[in-house]
Structure 1
Amino acid sequence: MAPLFFIFLVFLLSSTPYSAGRSINININSSTLLQFSSLAWDPIAQHFVAGSNLDSAVYAILETGTVKCVISKHSSNNSITGISTTAVAVDHVRQRLIVAFSNHSSVAAYDLKSYGRIFAVPLPELNGGPGGIAVDLESGEVFVTSARRGIVLQVGPEGDRWKVISEFKIQGNQGLGGLVHTSNGYIITVQPTTKKVFKVDYVKRTVEEVLSVNGANLLAQAGPAIVLRTNLSIAIATSRTILLVKSAKSSSRIFEKKDSPWEQADVIDKIKVGHGKTVVAVAMREGTTFVLTKSQGGYMIQEVIWRSKFLEDFETWGLFSIFLVCLLVMYWYFWQWTNGLEKIKTFQVYGVY
């Protein structure tokens, strides 16, 4: 009984979901002439899409690492869209790829199946440099930051209108980087030069600082250097690390309510991308964070394994395993006790004193 018990115990502790999984790494087979600027996941086609830092092209990156151009610099018409791709976002509800271009500043929407252009909107208020782009999946509204000014613009779902929703001089009117839109109606954006994270309430027209990333490397300049993990957690990239930032009021998942105000935030995890690698962008793929890195060996897309994820898994599965082990131990002792009673009764029946 005892050997079987310990064999089962080892099997139980080694069979948690986290320990069984392997991280996903995609080595990108691309020309040395390509320079990627951004990253997003297309859940419909089941591949990543990346913008070009050299021209207005957009590429699909397959699981095998194969790179395929889906929007060429010629089809994008750079007299309207600009000369480089700053950021990309996917609106899977409307099956659209949203792209922000720089010089000339504009936002364009493309059909995810045919990659035909739906609309293109010039945005002169950005002064030639979009910082990042995000989509409200419920309304289809598109939000864009300026890399040169502390403003956020809102573009209509059909590209028929746009307006400045945040005219506040955020921290001296310095440029903004990436941004995310939460389902509770807030925009979370980063300011790379000051290493600060802001919450923009575009209904109340207020801006609040929620976090200052002290002691970190310079926040990655790329617009897509921030991604929404859940309604109360985001991943932010510095040049060498990925930070997991969570609303201070969401220390447990049971508090993940829709009306969380993001009054302040904390860095709860930090992952280094590896020696010699530089962060280009981050993206979410079906609940998992991925990072696009660049090194002398080329580009790579890596799955981010959070230490806090391991702790969450241990909290869920480890405690459950401990509970089962305690039950087994109690059963084993009960079996030993009842077996001892049977032996005593046997001795008494046969007159063994």
Structure 2
Amino acid sequence: MMPKISIVLHRLLSGTCAATLVRFLILGSIFFVGPTSARKPHIVNFQSHNLFPESFKWDPRAQHFIVGSLCHPTLLSVSDAGVAETIISDSFLPPNSSFVGLSLDRQRYRILVCVHHLSSPAYNALAAYDLSSGRRLFLTPLLSDPDVKSGSDESSDIANDVAVDFSGNAYVTNSGADIIWKVNVDGEASVFSQSNVFKSYPVDLTTSYHKCGLNGVVFNSKGYLLVVQSNSGKLYKVDIDDGSAWRVILNKDLMGGDGLAVRRDGVLLVVSQEKLYFVKSEDSWGEGVVFDETGLEVEKQASAVTVGEEDRVYVLYGHVNDGLMGSVERDEFSIVEVESEKESKEEKIWLYVLIGLGLAYFMFWRFQMKQLIQNMNKKTN
């Protein structure tokens, strides 16, 4: 019996078996680590005449994106294959009303929409729609000053983005007056936060967005909002109990920051037309670090970011500047997956580390087996 075992072990250590084992180790490492690094970014091209979408969200229940429009009071669904269909069209609103920021209330399966009338006099409101039926649940006008009527030339209000908490309360940023409105689940509105901290930092008047203040907003389950201010590049943390706010200390400003989204691992995504910022915090956003920036296609004018299936990050190229000018017509828009270049490199490094460890383990195993064969041969002889 002993010589037969020795022969089997010798064959196991032969070139063919060894090479097979090495290939197995490498393929196994790639299987567990490699797919996210190896696959191509997901690109969704879709068509809709003069849509010029400013914001979008991923709907996990329906498995499609929901996009708004700067030029029409409509919402479209866009499949991952690029099929676009109108799901809501509100004929009650003026034809050129804009559906700007969006927020998906998953618990109640409704979509909250910031409504802004682009032409003077200005009109701002928050609309809520049931996504199962398409029925409008409420349309609430938004005013920063009760003495200034909606539609007055004195109003500088611009309803921009919206976030929703677990109770169904919505928080709407006002980019013109640097305040935040609150609209409860029944559609009743109030001025929620007008902290002086929002007006405490200098604005670069040479930028095209110098008049755009508070912009993207997201809700954190620990009881606060994160809000980016486009014209100062500052990020604020706002308590949802009393509206108090303070600046999040970052290693760099988020200049031109527009839409926000949060990954499952807590990384905050901040999109501007030039780049996508990846930001993280270890102390519940007292401080944060911009740990990576991914360049975007500036000519396509990105304005929003969302997190889709498998925690994939997507930006919306809606050509919004062209839509605001009103002198350009366009049918094609796109939703593009964007990755952190730094994280992708780190994944590749871990892949190489695992392959190296696998090879080292194999060499150690082969050495041990060789010693075992020699010992068995000695006993046989």
TM-score by length of 1: 0.83
What residue is the counterpart of 2:56 in the other structure? 39
State the 1:284 CA deviation: 1.6
1:200 aligns to 2:238 (yes or no):
yes
What residue is the counterpart of 2:8 in the other structure? none
Residues 196-237 of structure 1 deviation map (CA, whole Å, 9 limit, x = unaligned): 1111113254211114574765334xxxx1112247321001
1:27 aligns to 2:18 (yes or no):
no
What residue is the counterpart of 1:48 in the other structure? 65
State the 1:42 CA deviation: 1.5
Unmatched 5+ residue regions in structure 1?
Answer: 250-259
Partner secondary structure for residue 14 of structure 1: helix
How many Å separate the matches in 2 of 1:82 and 1:132? 18
What residue is the counterpart of 1:115 in the other structure? 134
State the 1:36 CA deviation: 1.0
Q: 2:111 aligns with which of 92, 97, 106?
A: 97
1:87 aligns to 2:110 (yes or no):
no
How many Å separate the matches in 2 of 1:325 and 1:78? 66
1:339 aligns to 2:366 (yes or no):
no
How many Å separate the matches in 1 of 2:156 and 2:285? 29
Contact 1:196 / 1:213 at 8 angstroms: preserved in 2?
no
What residue is the counterpart of 2:25 in the other structure? 9
Contact 1:82 / 1:105 at 8 angstroms: preserved in 2?
no
1:291 aligns to 2:315 (yes or no):
yes
1:300 aligns to 2:317 (yes or no):
no
Q: Which amino acid aligns with 1:190?
A: V
Between stretches 48-57 and 181-190, larger displacement belongs to 48-57
How many Å separate the matches in 2 of 1:99 and 1:61? 17
How many Å separate the matches in 2 of 1:42 and 1:270? 26
Contact 2:216 / 2:257 at 8 angstroms: preserved in 1?
no
Evaluate the alpha carbon distance shift between residue 322 and residue 141 of structure 1 in structure 2; reply closer, same or farther with a 3 A threshold: farther
Partner secondary structure for residue 24 of structure 2: helix
How many Å separate the matches in 2 of 1:275 and 1:96? 32
State the 1:266 CA deviation: 0.8
What residue is the counterpart of 1:78 in the other structure? 93
Between stretches 323-332 and 201-210, larger displacement belongs to 323-332
Between stretches 3-12 and 290-299, larger displacement belongs to 290-299
How many Å separate the matches in 1 of 2:213 and 2:23? 59
Contact 1:51 / 1:85 at 8 angstroms: preserved in 2?
yes
Partner secondary structure for residue 228 of structure 2: strand
TM-score by length of 2: 0.77
What residue is the counterpart of 2:192 in the other structure? 165
Evaluate the alpha carbon distance shift between residue 297 and residue 334 of structure 1 in structure 2; reply closer, same or farther with a 3 A threshold: farther
Contact 1:28 / 1:298 at 8 angstroms: preserved in 2?
yes
How many Å separate the matches in 1 of 2:101 and 2:366? 60
Contact 1:166 / 1:202 at 8 angstroms: preserved in 2?
no
What residue is the counterpart of 2:5 in the other structure? none
Evaluate the alpha carbon distance shift between residue 178 and residue 19 of structure 1 in structure 2; reply closer, same or farther with a 3 A threshold: closer
Q: Kindly, what percent of the aligned residue pairs are identical? A: 25
| Count of aligned residue pairs for this structure pair | 326
Between stretches 14-23 and 283-292, larger displacement belongs to 14-23
Partner secondary structure for residue 199 of structure 2: coil
1:57-72 alignment runs, 5 A limit: 57-72=74-89
What residue is the counterpart of 2:159 in the other structure? 130
State the 1:281 CA deviation: 1.2
How many Å separate the matches in 2 of 1:336 and 1:228? 53
How many Å separate the matches in 1 of 2:304 and 2:48? 17
How many Å separate the matches in 2 of 1:216 and 1:142? 24
Evaluate the alpha carbon distance shift between residue 29 and residue 111 of structure 1 in structure 2; reply closer, same or farther with a 3 A threshold: same
How many Å separate the matches in 1 of 2:335 and 2:124? 28
Contact 1:82 / 1:101 at 8 angstroms: preserved in 2?
no
State the 1:86 CA deviation: 1.2
Unmatched 5+ residue regions in structure 2?
Answer: 1-12, 118-122, 145-154, 201-211, 320-329
State the 1:169 CA deviation: 2.8
Contact 1:197 / 1:209 at 8 angstroms: preserved in 2?
yes
Evaluate the alpha carbon distance shift between residue 198 and residue 146 of structure 1 in structure 2; reply closer, same or farther with a 3 A threshold: same
What residue is the counterpart of 1:252 in the other structure? none
State the 1:271 CA deviation: 1.3
Evaluate the alpha carbon distance shift between residue 213 and residue 59 of structure 1 in structure 2; reply closer, same or farther with a 3 A threshold: farther
Evaluate the alpha carbon distance shift between residue 164 and residue 82 of structure 1 in structure 2; reply closer, same or farther with a 3 A threshold: farther
Evaluate the alpha carbon distance shift between residue 294 and residue 38 of structure 1 in structure 2; reply closer, same or farther with a 3 A threshold: closer
Residues 42-83 of structure 1 deviation map (CA, whole Å, 9 limit, x = unaligned): 122211111111122211112221222222241xx216x982
Partner secondary structure for residue 177 of structure 1: strand
RMSD of aligned Cα (Å): 2.8
Between stretches 260-269 and 183-192, larger displacement belongs to 260-269
State the 1:326 CA deviation: 3.9
Contact 2:22 / 2:362 at 8 angstroms: preserved in 1?
no
State the 1:114 CA deviation: 1.4
State the 1:12 CA deviation: 2.7
State the 1:317 CA deviation: 6.5
